[in-house]
Chains A and B, each alone.
Chain A
C-alpha cells in the first residue's frame, strides 16, 4: 500500500514532508540494542586519548597562536568571576529541553497500547537523580546581575560565531594529517556535548556563561589546531611525529 497520496498535491512544505513515507530501520535493531546495553559498563572505559596526541596538539597550538584573547577575556568582570566559581558544569547530552515545540501544538497520537495506569505518577520526579545543570538548587532565584551575564553571553556568542567562520575557512580535510584530523574530530565532539548542555531548559545564566566560555575556549583550541595544520602544510612541513620522536 502506498504511503503517500499522489492524487493530491501538498499545500505547503510541511504537508510535503509529512507525506514522505516513514523510513524503517534495518531488522535486528533491538538485538543490537541489547548487545549494547549488555556492554554498557565496558563502554565507560573506551577512548583513552593518546597522551602524545594531546601533547602534539598543545605544541601545534603554541607554534602558531593565531587567535589572541580579546580584551574582554583579560579583564574579567565580576560576573565572570562568579562564573569561574561555577566552572566544570557537568555536560549532559540527554537533557529534556525544547522537547516540545512552542509553535502551536498539534495533535498527539494516542498510544496503541492503552495500559492500565495502576501506578501513581509520582515517580516522574526523582529527587535523587543525578544533579543536572538545569536543576542546580538556588539557581532559580532572580540574579541581580542577570543583565550583565546576558551581555557576557552575547559577547561570547559573537566570538563563537567568528570562530565558526574562521574554522570554515581554515578547514581542509583533503590535506589534514591523520593525527590532526582525529584530534579535530575529538574537539568537535566536545563542542557538540557543550552545545547539548547549552540547550537545557531553565539553565541558570551563570551556568550558561560558563558553558559559552567553555565553547569559545574549545573552539579557540580547535581553530588553533586547524590553522596550524594549514600553516605547516602550506610550507611543506608536518610535525605529527616530531614531538614524540627522540631520534
Chain B
C-alpha cells in the first residue's frame, strides 16, 4: 500500500568509509607520490563503482571508460586540493570534522554529476518537483537479489533518478544533502526516490506491473 516516504532509520554503510592514517595524509600533502598511490589504491574501487552506478554504465565499454575518467579526475583533484582539506583523517577523530573519505566521496559525486550535466542526461528529469511522494512499501521483488537483473533495471532509469537512488540508498545521503549536491529541492530528491523505487519494482516484476 502506498505510503509517504518514511524516514530511514539508519543510513547504509558507504563503500567509501575507509579510515586513513593522519601520517599518510601528511605525506600526501607534502607531495609524496608513493603516499598518494596508497590513497589511490584504497579509494579507486569505491570511486569507480560510484561513477559507474551514477552514470549508468555498468554494461559496455563506454560506461567503463567514462567511469575511469571520473576516477582519474577525482583523484587528480584529491591530489591537487588536499591542502584545502580541513577535516580529519578518520571518522573517529577531529571533533566531528568531516573524515577524509567523505571528502573524497564528495569530489567523486560532483565529478559524476558534472559529467551527467555536461552530457545533458538530466534534461528529461527537471519537471518532477511536484511529483507525489509515495512509495510502495511492500517487500522487495525477489529479483532485487539478482545482481544482474538489478543492474539492468538501474541502467534503464533516468540518470537523475538513478543518481538519487544510489546516493540515498547506497551512500546514505539525506534528501537535503542530495538536493544541495544536485542544486534542486529536497522535494525533487524525494519524488525521484519515490518514482525510482516504483520504477525499479516494475522493471524487476514486469508480470505484476502489467497484471
Q: Which residues of B contact A9 (CB under 8 A)?
A: 139-140, 142, 144-145
Report if A51 contacts B (CB, 8 A): no
Select A36's contact among B42, B76, B182, beta carbons within 8 Å. Answer: B76
User: 8 Å CB contacts to A: which residues of B73-100?
Assistant: 75-81, 83-94, 97-99
Q: Which residue of A lies closest to B91 (CB)?
A: A108
A108 touches B58 (CB 8 A): no
Given known contacts A93-B114, A188-B120, A192-B114, A121 and B84 CB-to-CB distance under 8 angstroms: no
A96 touches B17 (CB 8 A): no
Report if A246 contacts B (CB, 8 A): no
Report if B205 contacts A (CB, 8 A): no
Report if B200 contacts A (CB, 8 A): yes
- Minimal beta-carbon separation of B133 from chain A (angstroms): 15
A124 touches B45 (CB 8 A): no
B123 touches A95 (CB 8 A): no
Q: Contact size class for A?
A: 35 or more
Report if A23 contacts B (CB, 8 A): yes
A199 touches B180 (CB 8 A): yes
Report if A29 contacts B (CB, 8 A): yes
A104 touches B13 (CB 8 A): no
Q: Which residues of A contact B22 (CB under 8 A)?
A: 117, 119, 121, 123-124
B106 touches A97 (CB 8 A): yes
Mostly helix, strand, loop or mixed at chain A's interface? loop
A124 touches B94 (CB 8 A): yes
Q: In the bound complex, what is the Cα–Cα distance between A21 and B58 (angstroms)?
A: 11
Report if A171 contacts B (CB, 8 A): yes
Which residue among B45, B145, B151, B173 has the maximum number of chain A CB atoms within 10 Å of its CB? B145
Given known contacts A96-B84, A105-B11, A106-B17, A119 and B140 CB-to-CB distance under 8 angstroms: no
B45 touches A26 (CB 8 A): no
Q: Which residues of A contact B145 (CB under 8 A)?
A: 4, 6, 8-10, 16, 19
Q: In the bound complex, what is the Cα–Cα distance between A40 and B79 (angstroms)?
A: 11
Q: Which residues of B contact A93 (CB under 8 A)?
A: 77, 107, 110-111, 114
Q: Which residues of A contact B79 (CB under 8 A)?
A: 37
Given known contacts A25-B67, A106-B13, A118-B23, A111 and B18 CB-to-CB distance under 8 angstroms: yes
Q: Which residues of B contact A24 (CB under 8 A)?
A: 45, 48
Given known contacts A25-B45, A101-B171, A124-B89, A192 and B12 CB-to-CB distance under 8 angstroms: no
A residues within 8 Å of B by Cβ?
3-4, 6, 8-26, 29-30, 32-34, 36-37, 40, 92-119, 121, 123-126, 129-130, 132, 135, 157, 160-161, 164-165, 167-168, 171, 173, 185, 188-189, 191-193, 195-196, 198-199, 201, 215
